[in-house]
Amino acid sequence: MDAGAGGQGDREGHRGAVLANPDLDDPARAAGLEQAASRPPRHRTRPGGHRQVGEKGVAAHKKSARRRGAWICFQDESGFSLLPVVRATWAPRGQTPVLTHRFSWKRLSMSGALAYRPDRSEAVFVFGIKEGAYNTASLIEFLTALLDHLDGQKVTLIWDGLPAHRSNDMKAWLATQRHWLRVEPLPGYAPDLNPMETVWGNVKARELANLCPDTIDEAHTAAQAGLERVGSSYQLCFNFLDHTGGLSL
């Protein structure tokens, strides 16, 4: 990923420390997130479908991660453009809000990973923003950055069935990474089991809500601010996990 938010091509990945101070803001509460009852973070804290069947699958992955001493990591992608993310807002009575925006085919993509210790002692949030969609090559680059951010420790990666996740090139690369990485698919009928889905909803309900930027760089700046806000809150990261419906570690 090229350095600099204003450059051409892929954007640089951004990773930030997760602060120990809980930061439950109004949009999070509006999304129905409840404060998690977790232990205080230690010094290394950083940054529907058939629910019953899905939870059994994830529970097996948690046991495997504990045996391997691995992080449990949820990964997902999302996107945005100059088109506003329309959300309900306030306006004087009789004056319907009107969003005026430019139309552009240019689109930015976000890739994010929420990683947790099975004992809930630590949380890490890693994200990247780039132009265009994430393909196999850029996802491999993102996962390599994740490995570096976790100091080369073992990871159980849980993600969906995106074609780039199942490509032959991705399978070949994953086969060379078995010393640190184990991949488990989410049930195709239960994307709501992935806490990253709640991250995207939270950012789009706040920083990107009704945003009508003139340039794609303005949209990039707003999305980055939202993702950094998520990464700065240890408590918020665990609230996203708990919001998936009882998948407590």
One DSSP character per residue, 50-107 reads -HHHHHHHHHHHHHHHHHHT-EEEEEEEEEEESS-B-------TT------------E
At residue 90, the pLDDT reads 74
Over residues 200-209, the pLDDT tens digits come to: 999 998 888 8
At residue 51, the pLDDT reads 33
The pLDDT of 166-191, averaged and rounded, is: 91
Of 4-8, 25-29, 100-104, 172-176, highest mean pLDDT: 172-176
Over residues 46-96, the pLDDT tens digits come to: 443 333 333 444 455 556 666 677 999 999 999 988 777 767 777 788 777
Q: Which two tokens stand for residue 43?
A: 């010094």
For residue 108, how many other CB atoms are within 10 A of its CB? 21
For residue 151, pLDDT over 90 is answered with yes
The pLDDT of 182-198, averaged and rounded, is: 87
For residue 230, pLDDT over 80 is answered with yes
Mean pLDDT for all residues in the chain: 76
Q: Which residues contact 248 (CB under 8 A, 6 or more apart)?
A: 36, 120, 241, 242
For residue 184, pLDDT over 70 is answered with yes
DSSP letter string over 125-138? EEEEEEES---HHH
Report d(CA 157, CA 96) in Å as an integer.
45
Query: Collapsing DSSP states into helix, strand and coil, what is residue 115?
Result: strand
Report d(CA 227, CA 61) in Å as an integer.
26
At residue 106, the pLDDT reads 80
User: What is the CATH T-level fold of the domain 13-81+105-242, as seen in this structure?
Assistant: Nucleotidyltransferase; domain 5 (3.30.420)
**Is 73:157 a contact under the CB 8 Å cutoff?**
yes
- Residue 55's φ and ψ, nearest 5 degrees, are -65, -35
Q: Which is nearest to 112 in space by CA: 242, 247, 13?
A: 13
Query: Collapsing DSSP states into helix, strand and coil, what is residue 207?
Result: coil
- Whether the full predicted model's pTM is greater than 0.85, yes or no, is no
At residue 141, the pLDDT reads 96
pLDDT above 90 covers a percentage of the chain that reads: 45
Who wins on pLDDT, 143 or 16? 143
Who wins on pLDDT, 105 or 229? 229
